[in-house]
A and B are shown apart, each in its own frame.
Chain A
């Protein structure tokens, strides 16, 4: 697995090849994977404020088990992809861009701010959207507010330490 230099785009979900936006068949695959993810988030109760409270109060192993086994599964998958030199369905070699460390401040400060929001809303970005699907229409307000938060970050970005 190679690590090409970062493009101007950064952050999770930003990496990889960006040539296939116009391939409808592949977009259908992403849609189906998204649907599966929404079902899994809901079925596993990760979308629940109560479960997040239980986690932050260290009163159940459940969320730690879920996150830990998700990381382990992903790590083993990445090792297998590296070892076998597996390609994408269109035959490209698979690569994950490295995340630049910089001073590290953005990860600590941004992470802590997101953590506050995670505990208050009881939802990280995926569950926010899954919850709207679950009929919790008030989460539309949380999403609009999250968009405002991202926008304000973009606006203040030149002033913030990274």
Chain B
């Protein structure tokens, strides 16, 4: 299976494959492709507290999606075992820009300087993993969707709320890239 991962998948193969999950889930059981509602289902299952937002039958509403999510984790593991994880051949400009910010280890899928248990004890690692993770959870719940639900399912169905959300995704992403990261990595 290694052969599948020994070169970079072209965008025109990867994109359509991702898009096909929309009809596949609809045909399987009238399900709308979207990952982030699993975070809500997990909250509802683990610690609903007294919060109205988590008081619903998560099994009925979300078991299918939690099973799908478990699959995503397993799929990541299988691809990893099959040799999918190698250095990412990013563009020379990005490499230069990130080097200027102090990133010098380009091995793996993410910089080890930010993403390791040891880095978690540094400000930059904590902000990248813990603050970033919190914003992913809060933002997707507030926006009622993420890249899969809004950018792919929603835009494919010509939903205006999804377009607003996707513009928001990019506004936030650009702000983090150009204002937060340079500040954060300044002290690397």
Contacts and interface: CB of A to CB of B under 8 A. Distances in A.
B111 to A, nearest CB: 7
B24 A116 contact: no
Interface string A32-43: 111111111111
Contacts of A18: 60-61
B53 A20 contact: no
A111 B167 contact: yes
Contact of A108 (B13, B23, B168): B168
Contacts of B5: 43
A123 to B, nearest CB: 8
B80 A135 contact: yes
Interface residues of B, number: 136
A34 B72 contact: yes
B90 A134 contact: no
Interface string A91-118: 0101111111110101111111111111
A93 B36 CA distance: 25
Given A12-B149, A50-B109, A112-B139, A121 B132 contact: yes
Interface size range of chain A in the complex: 35 or more
Contact of A121 (B19, B26, B129, B166): B129
Interface string B1-37: 0001100110111111111111111111111111111
Contacts of A48: 88, 109-110
A162 B46 CA distance: 26
Contact of A13 (B29, B62, B174): B62
A129 B72 contact: yes
15 contacts: A34-B67, A38-B71, A59-B97, A74-B20, A74-B153, A75-B158, A95-B30, A102-B161, A116-B135, A119-B132, A119-B177, A124-B146, A134-B84, A138-B117, A141-B129
Interface of B: 4-5, 8-9, 11-40, 42-43, 46-47, 49, 51-54, 56, 59-65, 67-80, 84-85, 88, 90-91, 93-94, 97-98, 106, 109-111, 114-117, 119-120, 127-162, 164-177, 180-181
